Amino acid sequence: MRLLVLGGTAWLGGHIATSALERGHHVTCLARGESGTAPRGVEFEHADRDGADAYGEVARAEWDVVVDVSRQPGHVERAAKALADCAGSFLFVSSVSAYADSSRPGDDESAALLPALAGDVMESMETYGQAKVACERHVTSAFGPGRSLIARVGLIGGPGDESDRTGYWPLRFARPATDDGSVLVPDAPDQMAQVIDVRDVAAWLIDAGEGGLSGVFNVVGETLPLPEHLAVAREVAGHRGPVVAVDQDWLLAHDVEPWMGERSLPLWLPLPEYAGSGSRDGSAARAAGLVSRPPAETLADTLAWELTRDPGRPRRAGLPDHDERRLLRALTTA
At residue 34, does pLDDT exceed 80? no
Whether residue 33 is found in the same domain as residue 121? yes
Q: Is the pTM of this model over 0.75?
A: yes
CB 306 within 8 A of CB 226: no
Confidence label for 334 from pLDDT (cuts 50, 70 and 90): low
Whether residue 169 is found in the same domain as residue 301? yes
Could you report the per-residue pLDDT of 166-175, keeping only the tens digit for each?
999 999 999 9
Whether residue 146 is found in the same domain as residue 164? no
Whether residue 127 is found in the same domain as residue 180? no
CATH number at residue 142: 3.40.50.720
The DSSP code for 260 is S
319-324 long-range CB contacts below 8 Å, 24 or more apart?
319/172, 319/177, 319/184, 319/256, 319/263, 319/264, 319/265, 320/263, 321/177, 322/177, 323/263, 324/177, 324/178, 324/183, 324/184
Could you report the per-residue pLDDT of 113-148, keeping only the tens digit for each?
999 999 998 888 999 999 999 999 999 999 999 999
Q: 105, 133, 153: which is the final residue of a domain?
A: 153
Mean of pLDDT over the chain: 95
100-124 average pLDDT score? 95
At residue 196, does pLDDT exceed 70? yes
Whether residue 50 is found in the same domain as residue 86? yes
Whether residue 86 is found in the same domain as residue 173? no
Whether residue 89 is found in the same domain as residue 111? yes
